Structure 1
Amino acid sequence: MGHIQDRWFRPARDAVTGKVILNARGKPVMERSELYGIGLRYKVRYLDPDNNERSKSFADKQKKRAEDFLIGVESDKREDKYIDPRASMTTFRQQAESWLKGQSPDPGTRSTILSRLESQIYPVFETKKVGQIKPATIRDWVGSMEERKLSDNYQAVLFNTVSGVMDSAVDDRRIRENPCHAKTVRRPVASSPPIVVWPEERVQAVRSGLAERFKIAVPLGAGFGLRQGEILGFSPDDIDRTAMTVRIRRQIKTVRGVMMFAPFPKRGKERTIPLSAAMLAEIDDHEDRFPVRGSHAALAERGR
């Protein structure tokens, strides 16, 4: 059990017997110590769950605060809710670097998250201690994003990143609650604009504007529903001519300015798409006119 030490006063002792002098009510007579008036008066001393001695000091006339603190510590220890005060001194950047290690192993995804941290989040939170980030801090930050007119979707992505970092701080017992989850914090909501399918005339116009070598990108995108990176990662070796299907299993990503193959197509998993005779003819015609050097599969696997 912890106790509160009064650094300014101590029980007076008899000069001859060395015994504590008691007053008429049987309580010790207090005298000034050599520390009287120096530093904070009350020092709460207690043992943490690992049996290490900890302490926290309070100023003169703050004994009630010291008592409340000690009661809170002992209660937290019994309920397994104790947070080491030193743990909350971890900076947001230190916590974010730890959190990032638990995110997707995909280099492209990590690079994107790191870019958001460095460009948008660290300028606000980098040196703040996680224990100092309160709901008011988050509310002010959300307001600043609105003032800078960031898109709703981008605000939501950034908010989720900060919230993820603070969730990890809760898991690591550095803070008790995530300030992003406070009732007074309005969470940015991403919007999903309706998807408008291009008319045939527009598709053909885009294709006409491309150089001959790159025209195949349009039917690959329109016919298979591929994203840009998946189009660039497509190989004719992914075609099963017997089953008339195409296996989408890679894409090209740019990580810190370097293009590389990544085995994570849309939604993070491979998928198989039906192949029409017309699409197969388009692909074969393109391969005849623009043959590659070496095997498609070998080149792709080398990139992986």
Structure 2
Amino acid sequence: MPETDPKRRRFGSVRKLPSGRYQVRYTGPDGIKRPAPHSFESEKAANRWLVKTEADMLRGEWLDPDAGNVPLREYLADWLRDRDLKARTREEYERHIRLHVLPAFGTSTLIQITPPKVRAWRTGLLDAEVGRSTVAKTYRILHAVFNTAVDDDLIRRNPCRIKGAATFKSEERPIATLDQVFAIAAGIQPRYRLLVLLATFAQLRFGELVALRRRSIDLDTMELRVRRATVEMEDGTQVDDDPKSEAGKRPISLPGGLRADIESHLAEYAQPGPHGRLFVGPQGGIPRRRNFNRIWRKALRDAGISPDLDLHLHDLRHTGSTWSAQSGATLKELMARIGHSSTRAAMIYQHATRDRDHAIASALDALIETAGSKINA
């Protein structure tokens, strides 16, 4: 069939197919003549598509429709290679991609992955009872990958458009009491007593704790300085690395009440020399999280803490941070102490506790009684 008004058409061509639909062909800015990605029900719709495509070219927003025909598997490999990631983070990304992305999209190209397919993929993970935090993390990775593909002019829009899918609000963790903290410190192996106390009163992560050296603590100023964090790779290798962010490198003032415990620990358990590790196992090795968890659970039993509380070592960081907030610390002070560069994580420690809420209610009750006594006088 002849093209519609070929002499009058300034950009592209339209022809009617035997099926009654309309086919569009046009020449891109690269000089290659190509068809539209699909046919059209009417000549008017075909013309509208040509007008829009020409406008995109004039604005410099035209995308080569073949550019997105890159296998996602290959693009993911390049994306990971080009990211400046810490070793442990790289392993985590690779694991999420291997377990949860490639089984669904490993044979697809970038342009083949559409919003409906992303929605179906996420629903499938949740239906398979993959943890919601894991699904949110994997979705964030995939979203970041497609953002890069948009920046690379391979696709026009990111197909990951599910509102709220990248976030996961975990259940609030328990807060230990002061008595429970000291009961655990008394019940745990003596070489780990100070570790429990620093997890609470210096709000340190496990990796930060086991990376500490003798020189990390200044007894004259009662100050601890976090410089590194020990991470364990999937092959079991332990590596000292920078903290998660620059904010993680921080000085922390220690309560004077810990001085005796620190002095005792330095004398009994820390490795010699300024670079000697503060915490080592009975055989001189770096403590591993899995092995320490067994020691931790025994200490909880010996301290008489119910398993129903489900208290983890990391909860002591949460406990100490909550106490710091209750002491009147500002948001910026909390961020500096716990090593966070964003306010989101620090704000969770500024929530009202039940005991504090009761105190507020009692104060309001006193006002009511005072007002009542004046009325009845």
Shorter-chain TM-score range: 0.7 to 0.9
Q: Aligned AA for 1:149?
A: E
Helix, strand or coil at the partner of 1:193 = coil
Distance 1:119 1:267, change over 3 A: farther
The residue type equivalent to 2:205 in the other structure is: R
Change (3 A) 1:268 1:52: farther
TM-score, normalisation: structure 2? 0.61
1:250 and 1:42 map into 2 onto residues whose CA distance is 62
Distance in 1 of aligned mates of 2:232 and 2:38: 57
- Residue 253 (structure 1) shift: 0.4
Q: Give distance in 1, aligned partners of 2:227 and 2:138.
A: 29
Contact 1:152 1:191 in 2 (8 A): no
Kept in 2, the 8 Å contact 1:42–1:58? The answer is no
Q: State whether residues 23 and 46 of structure 2, in contact with CA within 8 Å, keep that contact through their aligned partners in structure 1.
A: yes
Return the offset for 1:58: 8.4
How large is the Cα RMSD of the aligned pairs? 3.4
Cα separation, partners in 2 of 1:166 and 1:58, compared to 1, 3 Å = closer
Q: Which amino acid aligns with 1:292?
A: Q
Task: Tell me, yes or no, if the aligned pair for 2:214 and 2:273 is still in contact at 8 Å.
Answer: no
Question: Which residue among 103, 107, 119 is the counterpart of 1:127?
Answer: 107
Count of residue correspondences: 264
Q: Are 1:243 and 2:246 matched, yes or no?
A: no
1:242–1:291 CA distance, 2 compared to 1 (3 A) = closer
Higher relative contact order (Cα pairs below 8 Å, separated by 6+ residues)? 2
Once the 2 structures are TM-superposed, how far is the Cα of residue 80 of structure 1 from its aligned partner? 1.7
**Is residue 44 from structure 1 mapped to residue 22 from structure 2 by the alignment?**
no
Q: Which amino acid aligns with 2:212?
A: F
Instruction: Give the percent of matched residue pairs that are identical in Structure 1 and Structure 2.
Output: 22
Distance 1:210 1:266, change over 3 A: farther
Gaps of 5+ in 1: 9-36
Task: State the shift of 1:234 in Å.
Answer: 1.3
Under a length normalisation based on structure 1, what TM-score does the superposition of the two structures give?
0.74
The Cα shift of 1:266 comes to 6.8
Deviations 1:145-195 (A, max 9, x none): 2212333332221211111111111111111111212xxx34324114334
What one-letter code is carried by the residue in structure 2 that aligns with 1:46?
Answer: T
SS for the counterpart of 2:68 is helix
Q: Which amino acid aligns with 1:283?
A: I
Cα deviations by residue, 1:96-150 (Å, 9 ceiling, x for unpaired): 2333345443212222112111111221122211111111101101211221233
SS of 1:89's equivalent in the other structure is coil
Picking from 252, 261, 264, the partner of 1:282 is 261
- Say which structure is richer in helix: 2
Partner residue of 1:272 out of 247, 251, 255: 251
Is 1:106–2:91 an aligned residue pair? no
Residue 114 of structure 2 is aligned to residue 137 of structure 1 = no
Aligned mate of 1:197, from 175, 182, 190: 175
- Given the alignment of the two structures, is residue 80 of structure 1 paired with residue 60 of structure 2, yes or no? yes
SS of the residue aligned with 1:87? coil
Q: 1:282 to 1:54 in 2, by over 3 A?
A: farther
Give the drift of 1:84: 0.9
Decide whether aligned partners of structure 1 residues 102 and 60 sit closer, same or farther in structure 2, where only a CA change above 3 A counts: closer
Select between 119-128 and 224-233 the one with higher mean Cα deviation.
119-128
Provide the residue aligned with 1:223 in structure 2: 201
- The counterpart of 1:187, out of the listed 164, 169, 188, is 164
State the AA in 2 paired with 1:44.
Answer: R
CA distance 1:58–1:265, change in 2 (3 Å): closer
What are the residue-to-residue correspondences of 1:57-96 with 2, within 5 Å?
64=43, 70-96=50-76
AA in 1 matched with 2:213: S
C-alpha distance in 1 between matches for 2:71 and 2:187: 51
Contact 2:199 2:206 in 1 (8 A): yes
Q: Offset of 1:231 from its aligned partner?
A: 0.9
Counterpart of 1:179 in 2: which secondary structure? coil
Q: Structure 2 matches for 1:151-170, cutoff 5 A?
A: 151-170=131-150
Q: Is the 8 A contact 1:250 1:265 kept in 2?
A: no
Pick the structure with greater CA Rg. Answer: 1
Native 8 Å contact 1:2 1:44 kept in 2 = no
Residues 22-41 of structure 1: pairs in structure 2 closer than 5 A: none
Q: Specify the SS of the correspondent of 2:122.
A: helix
More strand by share: 1
2: CA distance between counterparts of 1:84 and 1:197? 55
